[in-house]
């Protein structure tokens, strides 16, 4: 067999047809030149392969808005205006070919800004200025805390949307499995 040349990568990644793989293996075992080439490929491949996979910093979630209908509202007095509103809505969204759900991405926690430092007083005490500074500092601190909580809430909302969608999927799959099991049991019983 000739040297592997352009089939080297196919051999290394085992993409040669089975029969050619056998011949190539035999050839590499005998040919030092090809073996050295394969080892070079392997060395580079392994150096790269050792790099760890990164975890996405947040989750991509397709969360369709919940549709909560109050059945009490479906009184005949409301049906006509509701039908008109629905018709208007359908006309408004007609050009869109497929409804695209909004993905609710989990917010990434941003670094919190450093707290505001107050300058030391060396001259006559100006209480108004101190009070003003303290108030400003407090305001900054509260704004910062508020922003931090907002970020946490957004993050939790994103996670909640993710888990809710996951739960819905699992419940649906469980329901389908249960139905299949029931159907199977019925068939078995009727056979018996």
Contacts of residue 105, defined as CB under 8 A and 6 or more positions apart, other chains included, come to 58, 59, 60, 61, 158
Give the separation between CA 104 and CA 158, rounded to whole angstroms.
6
Interatomic CA distance for residues 94 and 22, integer angstroms: 60
Shortest Å, Cβ 58 to another protein: 6
Is the CB of 59 or the CB of 148 nearer to another protein?
59
Helix axis angle, 32-49 to 18-30, nearest 10°: 110
Task: Please state the closest distance from residue 173 (CB atom) to another protein, in A.
Answer: 9
Binding mask 59-98 for another protein (x = CB under 8 A): xxxx-x---------------------------------x
- Considering the complex, state which of residue 54 and residue 90 has its C-beta at the smaller distance from another protein: 54
Size of the site for another protein (CB under 8 A): 38
Give the list of residues 6+ apart from residue 170 with CB closer than 8 angstroms, or none. none
Which parts of this chain interact with another protein (CB under 8 A)?
6, 9-10, 13, 15, 40-41, 44-45, 47-62, 64, 98-101, 103, 105, 108, 162, 165-166, 168-169
């Amino acid at each position: 067999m000739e040297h592997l040349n352009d089939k080297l990568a196919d051999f290394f990644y085992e993409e040669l047809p089975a029969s050619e793989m056998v011949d190539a293996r035999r050839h590499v075992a005998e040919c030092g030149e090809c073996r050295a080439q394969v080892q070079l490929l392997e060395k580079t491949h392994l150096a790269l392969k050792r790099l760890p996979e990164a975890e996405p910093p947040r989750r991509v979630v397709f969360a369709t808005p919940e549709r909560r209908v109050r059945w009490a509202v479906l009184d005949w007095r409301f049906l006509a205006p509701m039908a008109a509103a629905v018709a208007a809505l359908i006309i408004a969204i007609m050009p869109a070919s497929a409804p695209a759900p909004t993905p609710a991405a989990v917010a990434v926690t941003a670094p919190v800004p450093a707290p505001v430092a107050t300058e030391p007083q060396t001259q006559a005490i100006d209480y108004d200025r101190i009070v003003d500074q303290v108030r400003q500092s407090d305001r900054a601190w509260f704004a910062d805390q508020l922003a931090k909580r907002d970020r946490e809430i957004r993050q939790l909302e994103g996670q909640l949307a993710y888990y809710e969608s996951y739960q819905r999927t699992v419940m649906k799959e469980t329901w389908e499995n249960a139905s299949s099991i029931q159907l199977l049991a019925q068939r078995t019983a009727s056979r018996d």
